[in-house]
A and B are shown apart, each in its own frame.
Chain A
Amino acid sequence: MSISLRSMRKDQQGKIVAVSASGQLGRRIRDMGLVPGTEFKVVGRAPLQDPVALRMKGFTLTLRNNEADFITVETED
């Protein structure tokens, strides 16, 4: 099912369906490899629940919740 990256819990896995950000944010997201089809796992959240850390393509990436809003993912469960 398709949900926003923001609502994923720790240790949940997912696959990116769409990135709806344009401009600088969109480019930063894509330059780091968050493109449709990418599989990842939520590995942690900062002490105040935000930002979130993802494990993907052999490295760990962080982004803020309001940036995660632009990313739609498909989860297994």
Chain B
Amino acid sequence: MSKELFVAVSGQPNCGKSTMFNALTGATARVGNYPGITVDRAEGYYRKNDDNIHLVDLPGTYSLTSYSMEEVVARNVIVDEKPDVVINMLDATSLERSLYLAIQFMEIGVPVVLGLNMMDEVKKKGIRINSQKLSELLGVPVVECIARKGVGKDKLMEEVKKVSEERKGLWKPVNISYGHDLDPVIEEMKELIVEHSFMTDRYDPHWLAVKYLEEDEIIIANGRELGSISSQLEDKVHEIAAHIKKTKDTYPEAVLADYRYGFINSILKQGVISREDNLRFDHSDKIDMVLTQKFLGPIIMLCVMFAMFYITFNLGAYPQGWVEDGFGWLSSTVSGLLPDGLLKSLIVSGVIDGVGAVMGFTPLILIMFAMLVFLEDLGYMARVAYMVDRVFRMFGLHGMSIMPMIMAGGLPGGCAVPGVMSCRTLRSPKERIATILTAPFMVCGAKTTAYILIIGAFFPENPTTAMFGLVVLSWALALIAARLLRWTALKGESTPFVMELPPYRIPTLHGVAVHTWDRVWQYIKKAGTVILAISIIMWALMTFPQLPAERVAQFDQQRQTIEQQSMDWTGTKDEINDKLSEALSEVDFAESQATLQNSYAGKISDAISPVTNLAGFPWQANISFIGAFAAKEVFVSTMSTAYSLGEEDPEEATPLQAKLAADPAWTPAVIWSVIVFMMVYVPCMVTVAVIIRETNWKWGMFSVFGSMGFGYILSVLIYQIGTALGY
């Protein structure tokens, strides 16, 4: 068996790189994360006959600069992990731009094999590409491929083996001429670099000089740590930059790009391409004439979103029910097996119910992601971003922010968990974090139960209007909060919208399945770890300290008394039994209310009441808000416990609504204070866990405390002003 090769698969976005990667690795692909960032790292093996080739899928990038996470990752994998060969997939339908990345790999010097993808589309368009000629001119192997059908994958691997045997790990950087202004400077800088062995263990001297001219932030920052050579190099760059500015009114990096494209063009013109496809109108343009049309475009977009939403939550309700039933069965089986006591309570209420509530979302996430991945691979998401960008920009967000907002509950009934996870489609870090932090303000399915309770109690005449008003309010608050964030904690220029509208292509089933499963699996892993820990903590807070023995004895005494009294009751056996169980459950509820008030959660509620009193929360709402951090549905169930009612099912809280409506503590100022706080105050623990996963601990904590602060300020204002005005 030959030595295992390590091969990186690279390419520009939408070039079919991942499709080829999937075709090569088949079922062996596994996705993880690069440490500390959310860029996916997919790895797998190509196995055929004796070959065992280890492949890593680099993130899609247009170039190898240091501006985006993807570019940095792609470059670092090349420089630090030194793959034996890089396979660079090219979209042959836009060859000129595709070669831009290929040239940069060749400049670094790593052995490259080019995969000329989408050859079927090229032929359909009547373009002829001479791949043999291209290979000769560039001096690297070129393999014609159709990734969707797996065409060319074995040929690619053969070339990979051949190249790795020829080169034996030797890197041969290709030096392009950058013209009479820059070439001499590059030469001088190169000499300086070689003379002092400046970072030469990591980079090629010529390449390093070019990166200094490009003012590559990461390279320069690394260089500065190593001493004075860096400042000498920077001086040279400033000198030539000033010269170019004066003589040509441009920048060194612009000159570098011009020469790279010039080099590419000179190659393409030597008989590689027979006819250019430059401005030709194709089927994607025809589709776009409808899908992005001024009036039709937005209407179709709303329909698509509504359909996604509808499918997710209606179709998803069935598997969600099965998962919940499964956990329900597990929960009742385990409680039947274990003796009463703390261990049973921990395992059933803490572990099974806590994790079960979270796992119930899995089918929703699976369905939603499948559709989202489909729309993204199809090329439609880029159009959506294009259409709404103007509006979202006013609030400091990006066109791409719309999807997470909708998913999180922009149409009521959504869920912030898939919403936050779908923020991955956002490439710009600041807009992405602003979206992640504000999407949980939306009216998710769990909050809907709380609002139905409140609306039913206080706005029984026109519930639909009230609900609609709340949804509009949540959008307004999210957008305003995003604007505030972008003026403060996430200050900075908006990220350029220079973005490709990829041609519409029907995604492969395999590709959609693989991407969807990766994301769902990561969610499941999270549910099994962080969420398990949090739900145990929440359980402990609501269970300990336990009622003192004499209080428990009192309740037991009451139960015994009732049972004894029941002996003397008159009526049929059934009537007596009904009456008895009703009386007993009243005692049970009194006990659970007492337990709740006595628990740490109850004590915390008491402790914070001086603060929350400013916002006017009734004590029942106060304690419910604490529980609702675990899951917003808990608000209704805790309220019903706190109001000592037998209704545990949030769907059927009618008597609770009557009780609320009758409680004089709920003035209009209090109602709105509670509504707004509910909307904003803290994402549920599952969402927080996902936010931490998608960003880091810092932003997770910011999301908890920032939202809490924002919600608190709003609620205090509403309550104080409302009360002062006499509401």
- What residues of chain A have their CB less than 8 Å away from a CB belonging to chain B? 13, 18-20, 22, 24-37, 39-41, 43-44, 46-51, 53, 55-64, 67
Contact = CB atoms under 8 A, between A and B. Distances in A.
Nearest to A63: B498
A59 B97 contact: yes
Interface in B27-53: none
Contact of B278 (A19, A22, A29, A56): A56
Contacts of A39: 278-279
A47 to B, nearest CB: 5
Given A30-B254, A39-B278, A60-B284, A46 B498 contact: no
6 contacts: A27-B63, A27-B65, A46-B389, A47-B387, A51-B399, A55-B285
Nearest to A41: B279
Main secondary structure, interface of A, reads mixed
A61 B389 contact: no
Interface in B279-296: 279-281, 284-285, 288-289, 292, 294-295
Given A44-B292, A62-B500, 14 more contacts: A18-B249, A25-B496, A30-B257, A31-B63, A31-B257, A32-B97, A44-B288, A51-B497, A57-B278, A59-B503, A60-B288, A62-B386, A64-B496, A67-B496
A33 B498 contact: no
B703 interface: no
Contacts, number: 141
A64 B497 contact: yes
Given A30-B257, A57-B94, A62 B499 contact: yes
Given A27-B67, A35-B261, A47-B297, A61 B96 contact: no
A43 B288 contact: yes
B498 A67 contact: yes
A71 to B, nearest CB: 10
**Interface-centre pick from B67, B254, B502 (highest chain A CB count, 10 A):** B254
A48 B281 CA distance: 23
Interface string B486-511: 00000000011111111100000000
B253 A32 contact: no
B248 to A, nearest CB: 10
A26 B251 contact: yes
Nearest to B289: A44
Contacts of A31: 62-63, 65, 100, 257
Interface in B255-281: 257-258, 261, 276-281
A14 to B, nearest CB: 10
Contacts of B496: 24-25, 28-29, 63-64, 67
Contacts of B386: 46, 51, 53, 62
A40 B279 CA distance: 6
B101 to A, nearest CB: 9
Interface string B373-398: 00000000010001101110100000
